[in-house]
Chains A and B, each alone.
Chain A
Amino acid sequence: MKNSLRQSMAWLHTWSGLLLGWLLLAMFVTGTSAYFREEISLWMEPELHASHATPETPELAWQALNRLAPDARAWDIRLPDARAPVVELGWQPDTPEAQNEGRRRGERAIMDAATGEILTPRATRGGDFLYRFHFELYGVPRLWARWLVCVATMFMLVAIISGVITHKKIFKDFFTFRPGKGQRSWLDAHNATAVLALPFHFMITYSGLLLFMVMLMPWGIDAAYNGDRRAFFDDAFPRATETTAQSQEAAPMTDIAPLLAQTRRAFDQPVTRIEVNRPNRAGATVSISTDREPEITGRRRGSAPTLVFQANSGALLETRPGTSEALPAAVRFYNLFANLHLARFADPAVRWLFFLSGLGGCAMVATGLLLWVAKRTQQLKQRQPGASLRLVNALNMASMTGLIGAMAFYFAANRLLPVELAQRESWEIRVFFISWLLSLAHALWRPNRRGWIEQLAGITVLWLSVPLLDMATTGSHLFSATAWQHGALAGFDLACLLLGALWGYALWRVARHGGGKKGTARQPRRSPGTATGAAS
């Protein structure tokens, strides 16, 4: 249909990009925030902020479970770490009903790591809402949403490959950015954010598909295992089988402190998790795990260095060094991509690196969408834009400033909605979607430069006021002790201020430079880099 490979690829890139760009942008924005999912959740539960780990924390947790569920079937204690300052207590009630509900069901409680008090944080979905949204959206049947997201991801992969083919001088233009040239500048910005972060874009897209490969591509399993997926999982991703003692005879457990010290010494790492089987009975066992060395091709779960003790006598039963067993190459390949996508191994610095790369991804999709409009605006000369161009521009606005504004509303709702409100967590999410819809309505009403300026002004004010709201409602602020005790809180406020400043800069560029041309859309998104693309 087209003359050359390059032209047909350009066509494919443009149209598949436009069709799925808005969805991809929403996935990129919420997915990028998910690198700090636990930090966002912590920020959204101010009731937990006073908690901090002390040397006595494991014993407090031990006492708390003895108090709460002395005759549970199993205990699970997750101690505070760099990302979460509280203790998560889990236990499985020893009733037939609880067992029938499957392994995952159980009771949970959050404990203050310093006082041992059980905390009840406000009802919120926290960072998990944004994280879940990025691969299963909201309010759509889960399976449908996942398929839709995967289709968009697949076309992102196609867009990456076709984009590389389309790009005429990919290495020659590697460092090229020509500001102040309208469409040309948007193209340069799109290329720069795409090509420079190409390894990240490819990784995040391809691994996103791999994470859902059993749903997307079950045909290999069905062919080789005659459809027996359980058998495949047992082969490819084996789990350690648990040995469970069945005794009901009550028997006291030994002091936990020496066992903790022994584990700490054995692996030279702080203890992160304590699991107990049949607590307070004869034959109880306790497994104490520490952090493991980051291992990028290793398994996603388990295999942390662990000592298993007989809990009544304190005798050492087993040492699991946590070195990863020799995995087959294909599984290691899968793990590599899965671990990279989820940033499982990441220390804070690396997490920021991924976050910034994610912003680069947002910028790439956003500049691509803006380029589509800029190109057609330029072709208009002096004529009025048609309905379709106005529609695309409005959808661009809603998908960029609208979503960013909705996130700020979500955070603000967390602080402003009454703590005792019924269905509180749903209300936070409703605020998110209502504000997003309102921004779409506004964008459809004023789909031009005025609209962009108003929405940019709105998100600037919103993001800058989130830290203020935090200070007003919880007393925690950038210079307070709580904020720095948990770096996450200071980081959250700081990120809000920086992003707010970035939106403000974008606003300034659009307001100052955008007037000359047909100003439908020329405002940058999300990366300080592309902000300079605003000149016209």
Chain B
Amino acid sequence: MESYLSILVGLYFAGSVFLLLSQSLIRVLIGIALLGNAVNLLIFTAGRITRGVPPIVPDGLKAASSSIANPLPQALILTAIVISFALFAFVLVLTYRAYEATGTDNTSKMRVAEPTETIRLPEGY
């Protein structure tokens, strides 16, 4: 089962990287969104997969049976989902502000910090 998910995770990463390498900020953004899912799924798969049985202790028992899904990666991923979403929302606002300030969503044309003109060397000592 993990092999299937590994392939999907690979596909996820490939897609995310391809979008991250784009010049268009929107595509980069979508790449970031994909990257979050890719990593979550990676952790989930690395914690091994079991069909069904959520990690919940049944009523009346003191401990869960041994065949439940691994709860540890789930706890990691739960917060990761929320954080990556919050970060995504922030990046979204940032992108929009950058677009508004520079008038372009092409990363190659955003040159406020690193202008294209030749660096002037100091002329004296």
- Decide whether A and B assemble into one complex: no
Residues of B within 8 A of A (CB): none
Interface residues of A (CB under 8 A from B): none
